[in-house]
A and B are shown apart, each in its own frame.
Chain A
Amino acid sequence: MFRGRFFLFVQVFFCCLFLTVAGCGKKESSKNDESAVKVWHWMTDRQAAFEKLADQYYKETGVKVIFETYAPTDVYKNKITAAASGQLLPDIFNPLSDKRELASYIKAGFIENLNDEMNKGWKDVFFEKSLVQNMFEKNNEWGVEPGYYGVPLDVSSLMIYYNKDLFAKAGLDPNKPPKTWNEFIEAGKKLRAAGIQPFVSGFGEAWLVGSLASSYQWNLFGKQGILDTIQGKITYTDPRWIKIFELFNEMKENKMFASGIVTMINKDAERTFATGKAAMALNGSWGVNVYKSMNPSLQYGIMYPPSLPDAKYPLLVFGGDGSSMFVNAMSPKKDKAIAFLKWFTQREQQSFLAKETLNIPSNKESAQDLPEILKEFSKSIDQTFENLPMIESWQVTNYINTNLQSVIIGEKTPKQAAEEVQAEKERQMKVEK
């Protein structure tokens, strides 16, 4: 009898609790400061630095800015997609999308064109390359109104880190990293002979292997050549493309790759390099912060991917915009949001952010305040890929990346890989027609 009553009491109690909590809903919502500028970002490790700057901005202007960070990035992206569907995007956000998807956000009226503001002198504070990635040129293939849309908060580039101690151990000069392809292969041979894995990267993440290949695409084809390839005027069976696949084959033949590189995610590759288990690592400028956190005593330098002797064009590296923010065109507070972003990208704020997060700021003047290794990275920003008015279809890009992986594991010859990519390109061209 007692147990029955107790059970009933528990049920009633929880029902009441449920109703109480349910009733709280609207009251809680009204607590939110509606006049505050809301920013959604995905880098949770920057929350504290963002909040400090927001506090400073509030003291200076009386405008409250609320940073909300959501990670991992796929959850953040889901949140943005859902909020866009419900027209509930915050005042400042980033859809974390490629240019094609970004164009769809702009055309749907979610992102403000900042051309007028940028042309009033704002754009001059940034590294040029950090702006172009979120800029749309005239006659772009997506039909977006030309102009600047993104406000870069930081920049990044992809370089090769090398471990100075391991270089010395293999009899290589730690202050003279390889500059040409042949020197690079020779260094790899010496490292392997000394029992050291020469090269690591997160090639399990296809974009990394693709980025390295793209550097050589710029090196061998130049901008026009790349555009001609996208338009189908140059085929992927062109000897220069076969050469790109051969580079990876040559690295494989000379045992340069760390074991398991094709299935390795970048976090594992970073750990491999940070713990001295590989001598060279292709990684972004964010690696400076990562390696410091994993192994503060690691002695390393950085170098460009080695250029090819017969290349006609400069070798460019992946990078430019690190993370950018976009202003919600539908927000009634968009002027406040733009004013905040202008303040946020000034030298003092950017230097503070760079110091706190060990990233390269988008403000080029702040780059002078950086530690030496990041200064070196910042010099490479001008050598990052140029903006293109069109991009290769994602299906073909996927084919390039997976075929590069196949070459690395010896599943395909460079020629076979190039032919497969070309076959996919022809399929996609037919679909487009």
Chain B
Amino acid sequence: MNSFKTKKQILDFITHAILLAVAVTCIFPVFWMLSSSLKTQEEIFTKMTLLPEVWQWSNYVDAFVKAEFGMYFLNSVIYTVVGVSAIVLITSMAAYGFARLEFWGKNFLFYLLISTLLIPIPGVFVPLYLLLKKLALLDTRTGLLLCYISGALAFGLFLLRSFFEDLPKEIEEAALIDGCSRFGIYWRIALPLAKPAIATLVILQCLAIWNEFLLALVVLQDKAKMPIQRGLMVFQGTFITDYPLLMAGLTIATIPIVIIYLLMQKHIVKGIAAGALKG
């Protein structure tokens, strides 16, 4: 019994040590970001200290002012809120359709849509640019939002379809007998039950849109419409990167996404497991 206990303790110790090492490697870049955001440029390069000698709080004010974060922040909030809402609405309806409705070419269409996940964004810059130009949507918020929404549809479908397929059909049949319409079942039964998967989709898409930069830079020209990542670009010159201000800017840009993650984290593991494993 004792030897079993000792073995278990050793195993626990090793497991915890490994987990601790992994946690430290994950946390260290964040710590470095916070620490560097309070140092001077010279200190970052010449003194390898964990904490700043003199805490440069003014870096945050400088970063906010220089990068014009106020304007970019609002744009990013609009892109994220509108984009994610539209993605959730459209993909949940489409995924429910693919999960429950029978129509000709259903699987072919589904896999065709899913296959768009394989196309890298830089590969579609030119055709997308031309398409937006023809639609007179170049350099407009709408154009960028449509790109974000269409780009996320495949992933949303993939995640939600398997979740809807797994819901017990009996509940829906009971609702049908009670006179509920197909849309009513989707709206009143399927959607509320899919909350964990939707929470996952929301957080992942929030992250994707909030951090997106390449597409915005290609589609938009007017600085006033650019997202927050454009602000960070100011500190990354061709030859010189202003690390203290860049790190301060990154910290500012990270805060909203961390808050969203903390608010929704309990649903995420459930959602990812449900969507990915059965998909």
A interface residues with partner B (beta carbon < 8 Å): 3-4, 7-8, 10-11, 14-15, 17-18, 21-26, 28-29, 31-32, 42-47, 68-73, 75, 78-79, 81-83, 85-86, 88, 267, 271, 274-275, 286-287, 289-290, 293-296
Cα–Cα distance between A295 and B41 once the two chains are bound (Å)? 8
Binary interface encoding of chain B residues 191-218 relative to chain A, with 1 for a CB under 8 A from any of its CBs, else 0: 1100000000000000000000110011
B239/A78 in contact, CB under 8 A: no
Looking at B24-32, B139-147, B169-177, B261-269, the stretch in contact with chain A turns out to be B139-147
A29/B238 in contact, CB under 8 A: no
Which residue of chain B is the closest to A14 with respect to CB atoms?
B85
In the assembled complex, B188 has its CB within 8 A of some CB on chain A: yes
Binary interface encoding of chain B residues 114-137 relative to chain A, with 1 for a CB under 8 A from any of its CBs, else 0: 000000001001101110010011
Cα–Cα distance between A70 and B138 once the two chains are bound (Å)? 17
Given contacts A28-B225, A32-B222, A295-B45, contact A22 B85 (CB under 8 A): no
Which residue of chain B is the closest to A25 with respect to CB atoms?
B140
Cα–Cα distance between A22 and B225 once the two chains are bound (Å)? 13
Which residue of chain B is the closest to A24 with respect to CB atoms?
B141
B238/A86 in contact, CB under 8 A: no
For chain B, give the interface size range: 35 or more
Which residue of chain B is the closest to A274 with respect to CB atoms?
B45
Cα–Cα distance between A308 and B222 once the two chains are bound (Å)? 53
**Residue from the set B89, B142, B188, B225 with the largest chain A CB neighbour count within 10 Å:** B142
Cα–Cα distance between A295 and B44 once the two chains are bound (Å)? 10
> How far, in Å, is A54 (CB) from chain B's closest CB?
14
Q: Which one of B136, B188, B218 contacts A26 once the chains associate, using CB atoms below 8 Å? A: B136
In the assembled complex, B46 has its CB within 8 A of some CB on chain A: yes
Cα–Cα distance between A255 and B241 once the two chains are bound (Å)? 31
Residues of A within 8 A of B126 (CB): 81-82, 85
Cα–Cα distance between A3 and B192 once the two chains are bound (Å)? 10
A85/B239 in contact, CB under 8 A: no
> How far, in Å, is A1 (CB) from chain B's closest CB?
10
Residues of B within 8 A of A21 (CB): 78, 82, 141-142, 145
Q: Which one of A11, A85, A86, A295 contacts B85 once the chains associate, using CB atoms below 8 Å? A: A11
Residues of B within 8 A of A43 (CB): 237-238
Q: Which one of A18, A72, A78, A275 contacts B82 once the chains associate, using CB atoms below 8 Å? A: A18
Cα–Cα distance between A3 and B92 once the two chains are bound (Å)? 18
In the assembled complex, B42 has its CB within 8 A of some CB on chain A: yes
A14/B129 in contact, CB under 8 A: no
Residues of B within 8 A of A86 (CB): 129-130, 133, 138
Given contacts A28-B222, A75-B218, A79-B217, contact A44 B234 (CB under 8 A): yes
**Residue from the set A3, A46, A75, A81 with the largest chain B CB neighbour count within 10 Å:** A75
Looking at chain B's contact residues, is the secondary structure mostly helix, strand, loop, or mixed?
helix
**Total A-B pairs in contact (CB under 8 Å)?**
135
Contacts A71-B233, A295-B45 known; 4 new A-B pairs at CB < 8 A: A79-B217, A274-B45, A294-B46, A295-B46
B interface residues with partner A (beta carbon < 8 Å): 41-42, 45-46, 78, 81-82, 85-86, 89, 122, 125-126, 128-130, 133, 136-143, 145, 187-188, 191-192, 213-214, 217-218, 221-225, 233-234, 236-242
B125/A78 in contact, CB under 8 A: yes
Looking at chain A's contact residues, is the secondary structure mostly helix, strand, loop, or mixed?
helix
Residues of A within 8 A of B145 (CB): 18, 21-22
**Residue from the set A10, A31, A70, A293 with the largest chain B CB neighbour count within 10 Å:** A293
A88/B239 in contact, CB under 8 A: no
A25/B142 in contact, CB under 8 A: yes
A78/B122 in contact, CB under 8 A: yes
> How far, in Å, is A256 (CB) from chain B's closest CB?
24
A42/B238 in contact, CB under 8 A: yes
B46/A85 in contact, CB under 8 A: no
Residues of B within 8 A of A44 (CB): 233-234, 236-238
Cα–Cα distance between A296 and B241 once the two chains are bound (Å)? 15
Residues of A within 8 A of B130 (CB): 82, 85-86
Q: Which one of A46, A68, A83 contacts B223 once the chains associate, using CB atoms below 8 Å? A: A68
